[in-house]
Amino acid sequence: MLETHLKEVPEDAMARGHLGTNYAAVGRPEEALRETNVAIALRGSEASIFYSAACTYALLRKQSEALDALRKAWEAGFKDVTWARRDPDLASLHGDPEFERLCSGNSVSGNRPTD
């Protein structure tokens, strides 16, 4: 569905971010990174784009990139610690000292990206 949508609206950064995460989840790392990079290039100042990138990187086991993207998401306004701790896409970050530091220092809830 996202692939079809992007044929019609190639500049939809959020759709590209979600597609990147989906590609990562199904073991298509090259496509995942491509879509994530395009999403960031299109809208690299938005919290939801960085959060989606964090999910993609975490699924690909790229811990430092995932943490960097999550940090940028927080700096851009994402603050939903509850969701970040529950999000299965970020499970590989749980227990990482930087992830725990980010989550402990950002206790606002309710700014969850749309799924």
Structural domains of the chain ordered from first start:
2-104 (1.25.40)
- pTM of structure: 0.88
Give me 92's structure tokens: 């590989």
Residue range 89-112, pLDDT digits in tens: 999 999 999 999 998 865 444 444
CA 40 remoteness from chain centre? 10
Per-residue pLDDT tens digits for 22-50 = 999 999 999 999 999 999 999 989 999 99
Across 49-60, average pLDDT: 98
Gap between the Cα atoms of 112 and 100, Å rounded:
18
